[in-house]
Structure 1
């Protein structure tokens, strides 16, 4: 696995920090169980947010602070949310989504001592106080290298962009503005290039995109 370069140091710091605090402690972050649409969707961003319907195997992450929610397959994954970070991390909220097996291994200490955590799915809230466009914000951010395959999409009723970038992992990402334009919701699929793991996490990535919606 490649070593992080200076441009990806902030991303790595967030990854390690938020993974190490495996407790949903913030009042504004709530991981709940139920809703999620039935399987079978492609996860491709669409013009309207998908309705979140109840299903016994589903989970819901809800951010009251930023007014959004998304679903994930709770029979296969767990979600951990954080809102407090070291000074070098500019994110305002971060959710790490792990397979149940990876989560158990992390909590058991198998990745302590400097071992790199597995690639996973993350959902972070990034500030946009200057109201930059998506492409301008990405250009001035040190979270991304080798940005490519940029395309305009609509997610949760918002004009968003989908793109790929590189760093510690190869990443597939969707950047969605909050309705007030002051923040971004960044959904990331980190990929290691091994088919089974990447395919499993893609389920959570596609579900998060398909069910993301902003609350009034």
Structure 2
């Protein structure tokens, strides 16, 4: 096994780190938004954007005119982060409050997708992640739309996960008559809401 580079080793609670590919992939597949961080003109930037994982890369897209996309596609090194919150951890002391979470951090340089067929395939991956089973139902992507969009890929070669689970871990205040435990957090898809232009059109099966 290759040694873990320092920038992938947490300075706090390193035992919570995971370098298991399946664990990293599972977190990335559940999350819908990542934050792309980079430095430009000696200023830090952190841009949230939708993404999809396919095999051992993640993909983002943006307009060919996007200042953010045009800058990082030149090969700027980036740090990309994803966080899923599962619970608020309520301790007997405010100092020991915490959160249960699953997160991924990766370091990479962008690979610009040039082939129109590969770009269209990345469009499909993105679409199917956000609205599963919808690609064949929708108006097909036009060649002009593909040309107007930049697709960037980032390798997961330098990636790690960090995960916290379970109840509060405090012993000092265990005998105090103060409630402690977790408050679960949940993100779920709600019932689709029809816009005016689609009144009278049946809800497609993939949205039921």
- Bin the TM-score by the shorter chain: under 0.3
**Given the two structures, how large is their TM-score scaled by the length of structure 2?**
0.24
**Given the two structures, how large is their TM-score scaled by the length of structure 1?**
0.23
